[in-house]
C-alpha cells in the first residue's frame, strides 16, 4: 500500500497559510495606506512516538504531506505505510505533527535521534554532529533522459501553481514535472527545505516515483536539498538560483543531475549532463 490508511490520519484545522496585513506604501511621491497578503509562519513540532524530534518555522499548509515527507527525507521511513498514524494538532503556540511508528521503525528513530539535537528549522540548524550534517546521500539510478527544452517547459509551468506566492511574493516552491504528465505536484512554504519535504510527502503518499521526472526549486540549492532529493530518488533537480559548492560535490557523488540558474531559455548544468540529450558542449570564455 503506497499511502497511509485514511483512518490513520487525523487533521484538525491549522491556521490559514496567509493573512492580510496593513502597511504604508510609497507610490510615486505619495505615502498611502495599503494592504498586502503576508505568508503565515508557524512553529511546527514533529513528534515521533511521543518524543519531540524537531521544531521549525513553516507555512501551516499541507502538513500531512510535510510530516510524511520529513520522515522520508530524514530516513525514518521508506514508505507511508511505515507510519502507524499521523495527527495534526493545532495549539496556542503552534501546530504539533504527531507521528506514530511501529516498533521496528521506532528503533530506527531512536538511533537517529541520538545523533541530533534540538530544532532543525533551517534544514541543518541544531544538528550536533558534523558527520550528521554531511550525512550520506544514496546513489540515484540513471533513470531516463530529458531534452533541453524539457527544462525550460518544466520551469515555465510552475508559476501558475504558485498560488500562495502570488498572494504574498514571499514563499518558496518545490514541484515535480514529467515529460508525459507535465506538472504533477507543487508545494509551497516559507522554507525551501520545508517545501521540498512537503513535495516528497505528496508524491510518496500517492505512489508517484520521483525517478521518472524533474524536481523544480525556486530557491538556491544547498547541500541538504540534494540530500533530500536523493532520498526521494530524484535523478534531476532544476533551480532558479545557483547551487553551493558543497551541493555540486554531493550531486556529483550521488548521481544527481543538477541544473541551476534557470532563467527563461538559459540554464547551467553542473553535474551528470549525460541525462540531457541533444546537448551541445562548447567552451565559453
Q: What is the pLDDT of residues 88-140, one digit of tens each?
A: 999 888 899 999 998 877 666 666 654 443 333 444 444 444 344 455 678 89
Judge whether residue 233 has pLDDT over 80: yes
Within a domain: residue 282?
A: no
Within a domain: residue 53?
A: yes
The domain spanning residue 155 has which CATH number?
Answer: 3.40.140.10
Return the number of other C-beta atoms located less than 10 Å from residue 224's C-beta.
Answer: 23
Is residue 122 among the annotated active site residues? Answer: yes
| Residues 255/141, Cβ–Cβ less than 8 Å | yes
Pick the more confident residue, 265 or 235. 235
The per-residue pLDDT for 124 is 43
Total count of domains within the chain: 2
Q: What is the pLDDT of residues 40-72, one digit of tens each?
A: 888 899 999 988 888 888 999 999 999 999 999
What is the span of the domain harbouring residue 96? 6-133
> pTM for this structure?
0.80
Which one of 102, 133, 164 terminates a domain? 133
Mean pLDDT, residues 155-170 taken together? 94
The per-residue pLDDT for 188 is 97
Query: CA of 158: how far to CAs of 64, 217, 265, 279, in Å?
Result: 22, 9, 15, 24
The DSSP secondary-structure symbol of 141 reads: P
Amino acid at each position: 500500500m503506497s499511502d497511509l490508511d485514511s483512518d490513520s490520519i487525523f487533521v484538525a484545522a491549522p491556521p490559514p497559510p496567509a493573512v492580510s496585513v496593513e502597511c504604508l506604501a510609497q507610490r510615486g511621491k505619495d505615502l498611502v495606506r495599503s494592504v498586502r497578503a503576508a505568508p503565515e509562519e508557524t512553529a511546527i513540532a514533529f513528534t515521533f512516538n511521543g518524543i519531540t524530534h524537531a521544531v521549525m518555522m513553516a507555512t501551516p499548509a499541507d502538513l500531512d504531506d510535510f510530516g510524511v515527507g520529513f520522515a522520508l527525507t530524514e530516513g525514518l521511513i521508506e514508505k507511508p505505510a511505515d507510519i502507524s498514524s499521523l495527527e495534526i494538532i493545532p495549539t496556542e503556540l503552534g501546530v504539533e505533527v504527531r507521528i506514530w511508528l511501529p516498533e521496528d521503525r521506532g528503533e530506527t528513530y531512536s538511533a537517529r535521534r541520538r545523533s541530533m539535537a534540538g530544532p532543525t528549522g533551517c534544514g541543518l540548524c541544531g544538528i550536533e554532529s558534523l558527520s550528521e550534517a554531511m550525512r550520506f546521500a544514496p546513489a540515484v539510478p540513471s533513470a531516463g533522459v530529458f531534452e533541453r527544452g524539457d527544462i525550460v517547459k518544466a520551469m515555465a509551468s510552475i508559476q501558475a501553481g504558485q498560488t500562495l506566492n502570488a498572494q504574498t511574493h514571499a514563499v518558496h516552491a518545490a514541484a515535480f514535472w514529467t515529460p508525459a504528465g507535465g506538472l504533477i505536484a507543487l508545494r509551497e512554504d516559507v522554507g525551501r527545505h520545508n517545501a521540498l519535504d512537503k513535495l516528497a510527502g505528496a508524491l510518496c503518499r500517492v505512489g508517484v516515483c520521483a525517478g521518472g521526472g524533474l524536481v523544480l526549486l525556486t530557491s538556491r540549492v544547498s547541500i541538504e536539498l540534494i540530500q533530500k532529493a536523493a532520498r526521494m530518488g530524484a535523478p534531476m533537480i532544476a533551480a532558479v538560483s545557483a547551487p553551493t559548492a558543497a551541493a555540486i560535490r554531493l550531486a556529483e557523488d550521488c548521481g544527481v543531475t543538477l541544473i541551476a540558474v534557470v532563467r527563461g531559455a538559459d540554464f547551467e548544468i553542473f553535474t551528470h549532463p549525460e541525462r540531457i540529450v541533444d546537448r551541445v558542449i562548447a567552451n565559453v570564455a
